[in-house]
Amino acid sequence: MLCACESVRTGTWIRGGLFLAVMATWPAVASEENRSARFDAGLYARHVEYLASEECEGRGPGSPGIEKAAEYIADQFVSIGLVPAGDEGTYFQRLQVTLGKKATDKTTLKLLPDGPEFTAHEDFVPLPFSTAGDFEGPVAFVGYGVTAEEFDYDDYADFDVKDKVLLMLRFEPAAQNETDFDGPDKHSDHALFSTKAKLARKKGAAGILIVNPRIDDEEQTDALYAVTGGGGMMDYRIPMLHVKRSVAERILQAGGLPSLPELQQKLDEDRQTQTQDLPGVRIAGDSGLVKKSVPTRNVVGILPGSGALADEYVVIGAHYDHLGRTELQFPGAGKRANPDATYTHYGADDNASGTAGVLELARTLSNGTPGPRRSILFIAFSAEEMGLLGSEHYANHPTVPIDKMVAMLNMDMIGRLTNDKLTVSGVKTSGVFEELIPRMAEERGFRLSTTASGFGASDQTQFYTKKMPVLHFFTGLHKDYHKPSDTADKIDSAGAVRVLDLVADLADTIARAPERPDYQKVKMKSRGERAALKVRMGIMPGFGEDDEDGMAVTGVIEDGPADEAGMQDGDRIISIGENPVNNIYDYMDALSEFEPGQDIVVGITRDGQRISLRVKLGASKR
């Protein structure tokens, strides 16, 4: 490889045989005044203010608000003069996304043979992470449904629950000292729905009925789970219903067992196992859950190039969706702070800031003289917050040839520039970027932080998996991240247009260069797998759900365990050991069973064919 043999001040580089002529429209070293003149911070701020307004409702996929945001973006593309590049001559590319699950009128629970039929949403609710489908079987009470060897506690000791419907208490036994079940003021992992479900499923149970134990808050003692509170994308692969205490008492009475308070006292205070069958009692039910699929849209426009390179494209993108209106103040908040409140997640920085950047870059680059040689493809993606689904759909169903895209520049959260700190990811996905980014950042007074790989938790990842050089621009996390307090008044518009100035110069440089940037595959640590796991497989898992079996493999880490076993980008993992895999949650759950160095059989599908790979798991790099 040849080294850089010309000064950066001359505006030319030779690297690896690639010649880049830096654009002539703007000098290599320009004053901050000249640069800022290209962008109107006030206009940028107005875009953010609308996208992050109450009218757009937090831009959650499936909401009227995100549709208003999509129309606003398309209207801006029209005013700028971009060519429509969506479906059927429009600016919109349509896709369907799974928005969790919803209950239907098939949600049922009945005591057999002649017992009462309980009323859905009054007497019980399906838990949103329940699997869809019906169940039937004899009933057994299994205490808290917990096996905790470290605390010398096991509700399942010497008891067969195969094909039975299990009635169990929520949470875990009351702690008797500071070290017992993590102490009296918090719960251990044994209290989690996921832990209970995994254990019951592995023991062959047909279904689970969960009832609240008596707690100090009388109002909450019999409160049913707030189904809209989250978790709808998860599937614990066993039917799970949350029942009121009156329902549980009716079932216990039919089997001749003591009351719930008596059973709970013996479990909490006496630590006496209460697990037993309910003689003659059978129950049938159906979670009644179906996937809730909603339409949403990417917004796509083209600034046409001219000449022999006009059929090649520089991609500039940002996601415009956010979390919408929810009953929780932030994801993972658990208990609702106010049962009657709904919170709008305005998403000003995440990612109205990047979307406004796409609009203003389109406006500025459209005014360049002369115009670009390569075309510039502008995309506002939907469903990023659900697992990069909009960009995944576009990368797999591009409206221009994917092999004609020469680079992808992504902006996600560029509105909170602090102390001039700018993070750019993907700088080693092209030798060209390694040369350009540090110089451009220094000229603009940025304190630059970089990462090498194109993989990450934003939309550039989907293009990097297509072997394309990518960059991601980001001004940092803050205390308002994914909270309703991420509002437009906190956006630093002047700082954001400084970032846009860099992206504009970079995009124009690539668009005018005689040759496309080289692509470099970057060796990286596997960060797509949860740090709490002891093992790593060495892949970037797909986070979205679709109608195909298995979980998509977005990327395979070079020289990692999966790579050495022969796994490829685009494969779908359908099983790990004896555990079926249908989504990211199944994948994490299955990996948690293994130790570093173990050889496991991973079932995949590739081009419609089922293949078994033997993978030697690596140790998690924490």
* DSSP codes joined into one string, 25-45: SS-SS--HHHHHTTS-HHHHH
> 214: pLDDT confidence band, cut at 50, 70 and 90?
confident
Which H helix or E strand runs over 395? Answer: helix 389-396
Which of 217-221, 240-244, 474-478 is most confident? Answer: 240-244
- 408 vs 329, which has greater pLDDT? 408
- Which residues does residue 283 pair with via DSSP β-bridges, in sequence order? 111, 137
Residues 60 and 184 in one domain: no
Helices 493-512, 431-443: inter-axial angle, 10-degree rounding? 140
Which of 271, 287, 303 is at the close of a domain? 287
Whichever domain contains 130, its CATH number is 3.50.30.30
Residue that finishes a domain, picked among 477, 512, 547: 512
Q: Which of 155-169, 319-333, 361-375, 464-478 has the lowest mean pLDDT?
A: 319-333
Q: Is 599 in a helix, a strand, or coil?
A: strand
Q: Which of 5-19, 33-47, 196-210 has the lowest mean pLDDT?
A: 5-19
The single residue listed with the structure tokens 């107005």 is 46
Count of domains forming the chain: 3
Residue 436's Cβ-side half-sphere holds a number of Cα atoms within 13 Å equal to 32
Lowest-confidence pick of 233-237, 439-443, 596-600: 233-237
Is residue 522 in some structural domain?
no
- 19-47 pLDDT, tens digit each: 343 333 333 333 444 454 689 999 999 99
Residue 365 has pLDDT above 60, yes or no: yes
In a domain, 261, yes or no: yes
pLDDT digits (tens, 9 = 90+) for 264-317: 999 998 888 999 999 999 999 999 988 888 999 999 999 999 999 999 999 999
Provide the 8-state DSSP code for 350: I
Task: Give the domain CATH number at 613.
Answer: 2.30.42.10
Place of tokens 């209460």: 274
Burial of 488 by CB count in 10 Å (0-12 exposed, 13-18 middle, 19+ buried)? buried
Q: What mean pLDDT is reported for the chain?
A: 86
Same domain, 343 and 412: yes
Distance from C-alpha of 373 to C-alpha of 510, rounded to nearest angstrom: 9
Is residue 273 domain-shared with residue 416, that is, in the same domain? no
3-state SS, 403-427, equals: HHEEEEEEECCCCCCCCCEEEEECC
Same domain assignment for residues 277 and 299: no
Does one domain contain both 262 and 303? no
Task: With CA atoms as reference, report the closest residue to 353 among 580, 49, 87, 76.
Answer: 49
Q: To which residue do tokens 């995309």 refer? A: 379
Structure confidence at residue 342 as a pLDDT band (50, 70, 90):
confident
Neighbours of 390 (CB within 10 A): 31
Q: How far apart are CA 198 and CA 578, in angstroms?
A: 13
Query: Does 313 map to a domain?
Result: yes
Token pair recorded at residue 414: 């560029």
Which range has the worst mean pLDDT, 63-67, 463-467, 533-537?
Answer: 533-537
CB atoms within 10 A of CB 618: 19
Q: Has residue 367 been placed in a domain? A: yes
Residues 472, 605: one domain? no
Q: Could you tell me if 209 and 168 are in contact, meaning their C-beta atoms sit under 8 angstroms apart?
A: yes
Nearest to 85 by CA among 315, 294, 392: 315
- Tokens 């001219």 locate to 306
- Same-domain status, 492 and 582: no
Question: How confident is residue 548, by pLDDT bands cut at 50, 70 and 90?
Answer: confident
Round to whole Å and give the CA distance between 97 and 293.
Answer: 5
Please state the rounded mean pLDDT for residues 415-436: 94
19/45 same-domain check: yes
Do 270 and 300 fall into the same domain?
no
Domain residue limits at 554: 535-619
Q: Which residue from 521, 517, 496 is spatially nearest to 506, judged by alpha carbons?
A: 517
Tokens of 300: 């796509």
> Is 528 a member of any domain?
no
Note the pLDDT of residue 492: 97
Determine the pLDDT at residue 587: 86
- Amino acid present at 549: D
Q: What pLDDT shows up at residue 104?
A: 85
Q: Are residues 251 and 189 in the same domain?
A: yes
Predicted confidence (pLDDT) at residue 213 exceeds the cutoff of 70 = yes
Residue 521 lies in a domain: no
**pLDDT digit string, tens, across residues 141-173:** 999 999 999 889 999 999 999 999 999 999 999
Instruction: Provide the 8-state DSSP code for 467.
Output: T
Q: Give domain status of residue 527, yes or no.
A: no
User: Cα-flanking dihedrals φ and ψ of residue 543, to 5°?
Assistant: -95, -15
Which tokens belong to 189?
């992992």
Angle at 462 between CA 457 and CA 464, to 5 degrees: 100
Asked if residue 449 and residue 333 are part of one domain, the reply reads: yes
Q: Of 287, 302, 330, which one is at a domain's C-terminal end?
A: 287
For residues 420 and 502, the answer to whether their CB atoms sit within 8 Å is no
Summarize pLDDT for 52-65 with one digit per residue, the tens: 999 999 999 999 99
Alpha carbon 324 to its chain's center: 15
Asked if residues 320 and 334 have their Cβ atoms less than 8 Å apart, the reply is: no
- pTM of the full predicted structure? 0.72
Please report whether residue 529 resides in a domain: no
Gap between the Cα atoms of 533 and 208, Å rounded = 26
Task: Please choose, from the candidates 472, 476, 500, the residue with its C-alpha nearest in 3D space to the C-alpha of residue 357.
Answer: 500
Judged against a pLDDT cut of 50, whether residue 599 lies above it is answered with yes
In the structure, what pLDDT confidence band is assigned to residue 227 with cuts at 50, 70 and 90? low
Q: Please say whether the beta carbons of 582 and 129 come within 8 A.
A: no
- Would you say 616 and 564 are in contact if contact means Cβ atoms under 8 Å apart? yes
Q: Give the pLDDT of residue 79.
A: 97
Same domain, 273 and 354: no
